[in-house]
Amino acid sequence: MSQDLSQKNKPYLTKVKKMRINKYLAHAGVASRRKAEELILAGKVTVNNVPMTNLGYQVSTGDIVEVNGVAVYNEEPVYYLLNKPRGYISSVSDDKGRQTVMDLMPQVKERIYPVGRLDWDTSGLLLLTNDGEFTNMMTHPRHGVDKVYVAKVEGQANKENLRPLTLGMTIEGKKVSPARYEIIKQEKTKNHSIVSLTIHEGQNHQVKKMFAAAGLPVQKLSRIQYGSLTLDGLPTGQFRRLSKKEVSQLINAAQGN
């Protein structure tokens, strides 16, 4: 997710050990390293008010780095896990005045943002950070970090109607990878089922669209696991900071280690 540079105040003096400029911009959440290089070559990045075109430049403490005239500040990276309730937007702000996940985390001083998103009516595990490179690693389709959802769906889930989910599907012209499922419960009298689904992508409304394509409209949805992370011991609406070990485990999973 790209950083909203318009929210920055300037100037920001960099406080960081020497770091290659594309990596610096990625860590600050501006863009991926490759996109950051494109910004640099396009002349949109300045260091100390001087246009920067040297991709090998090492940003150091005291530098003022700007993109399109807006200062970029590379904070110490932080990583949080939030148990998101339903009824909150997975965004830093909302132009319609709706509550966002940031309203649940007023104590956090760093300028964090959600890693991917959960729909307004979807609850569960949401990561937030100020590390753009980490965000790109967690959300890019080529990185296969498992995400586990539990859905209450209309209808009776069974092997036959869930089989297409395990083969890979095309949804609105986009191919999604094969998923894994487990039927947790079937309520025949109420005509609904509880199913867990494991995916490693994150297209918009992907889980809901997959179930809908199987003829099982989602009535309620929650994400309960992200890589090795779970919500164990974390009440709804609460958050905690990830440990270095947990962050390393997520990165290793994204890198296929």
d(CA 73, CA 51): 17
CB burial of residue 89 (10 Å; 0-12, 13-18, 19+): buried
d(CA 246, CA 252): 10
Residue 123 CB neighbour total at 10 angstroms = 22
Helix crossing, 159-167 with 206-213: angle to 10°?
130
- Does residue 95 have an active-site annotation? no
Which one of 95, 119, 131, 146 is the catalytic residue? 119
What Cα–Cα distance (Å) separates residue 120 from each residue in 22, 25, 207? 33, 30, 14
- Residue 158, sorted as left (phi over 0), alpha (psi -120 to 50) or beta, turns out to be beta
Catalytic residues: 119
